[in-house]
Amino acid sequence: MARNRQKFNLTKEIQDRFDSMLAIGQSKHKDKLAGATADKIYSWNTYRTYLKHANYFAKWCKEQHGCRTLAECRPYADEWLQSRAVLSAYTQKLEVSTLAKMYGCTSKDFVAVASRKRSDITRSRGEKIRDKNFSEERNSELVSFCRSTGLRRAELRALTGDKLRQDEDGNYYIVVNSGSKGGRYREAPVIGNVDNVVRLMNAAGSGKVFAKIHNGADIHSYRADYATAIYKAHARKIEDIPFDRVNAGSGFKYQSGVYCRRGDNKGSKLDKEAMLIASRALGHNRISVIGEHYLRGV
């Protein structure tokens, strides 16, 4: 009986810790400007992810060292992280972030973990087992819709036909205010097969546009196609972007409007203005996310 009570108390302590950080509906952007994001969690997905991995850590500490509280677990954080070295660099980084959030410190307070590399990402690369159960030909309307709007899976599930709008120039866009990441509002431009989007939205009326989104649909890949198309439509030639700033140290002029890619894309350059347009269309704030994880063949 005592062992069950101890397990419950440690699990409850973790939940209480993260519950106290919930800031659902608050502006993360405003908090960033004020430097007040360290002790806050802005989305339910992030909350659930932190909770899951924190409990992995707590369970290991209890089994290996008999810990009963988070304070007792803290000295074994580095040992646990080292035991997780077999996992992907992304998972290791996530677990460091989980511990940092839970203990109110930074990732630098823990042992260094593997660096994340774009070349290690497997999502939307190559054929997956689930792809064999999904036919893009039979689901052509969905695939075309995704490549024309860039909506996330949750946004597609929540989408109703009355979210279609036209601007003063007659261009269509979709109001995204349900199912979005962090509950953020945005207006997603409709590109590509506009007629398909307009037809499906009008047919749905105030009801759901898609009754079900097939699990095999590679939504992330379609978002990447959308982002790339948006970027290409607005990108300037790199050589046409002005050398408008002067390096304080060397005195040489440089292009502040040019983004230099990193990792396995090192050496290639992108137009920051076009990146920002594509980033906002997808519902992201940082252009680095677009540059390193979405844009293809540019």
Q: Confidence class of residue 298 from pLDDT cuts 50, 70 and 90?
A: confident
pLDDT in the model for residue 153:
93
Q: Which residues contact 196 (CB under 8 A, 6 or more apart)?
A: 141, 144, 145, 148
Distance between alpha carbon 105 and the CA centroid of its chain, in Å?
23
pLDDT 10s digits, 63-119: 999 999 999 999 999 999 999 988 888 899 999 999 999 999 999 999 888 765 555
Tell me what pLDDT residue 131 has. Answer: 54
Whether the pLDDT of residue 129 is over 50: the answer is no
pLDDT value for 62: 93
227/75 Cα distance (integer angstroms): 44
Cα–Cα distance measured from residue 110 to residue 59, given in angstroms and rounded to the nearest whole number: 19
pLDDT at 7: 44
Which pLDDT value is given to residue 21? Answer: 94
User: pLDDT digit string (tens) for 38-63?
Assistant: 899 988 889 999 999 999 999 999 99
6 has pLDDT over 50: no
The distance of Cα 275 from the centroid of its chain, to the nearest Å, equals 16
Q: Which residues contact 215 (CB under 8 A, 6 or more apart)?
A: 130, 134
- Who's near 197: CB < 8 A, 6+ residues apart? 144, 145, 148, 149, 164, 172, 174, 190
pTM of the model: 0.64
> Which residues sit opposite 174 in a β-bridge?
164, 188
Q: Give the three-state DSSP class for 80.
A: helix
Tell whether the model's pLDDT for residue 127 goes beyond 70: no
Model confidence at 193, pLDDT cuts 50, 70, 90, reads very high
Query: What's the confidence (pLDDT) of residue 277?
Result: 96
Cα torsion 48, 50, 52, 58: sign? negative
Domain boundary assignment for the chain: 2-116, 135-214, 218-298
- pLDDT tens digits for 155-186? 999 999 999 999 999 999 999 998 887 678 89
From the list 229, 234, 239, 243, the residue with the least C-alpha distance to 276 is 234
- Sign (positive/negative) of CA torsion 248, 249, 251, 253? negative
What values do phi and psi take at 254, rounded to 5? Answer: -145, 165
* Residue 104, SS3 per DSSP: coil
pLDDT at 122: 52
Q: Report the run of H or E that residue 159 belongs to, with start and end.
A: none
What pLDDT, on a 0 to 100 scale, did the predictor assign at position 225? 95
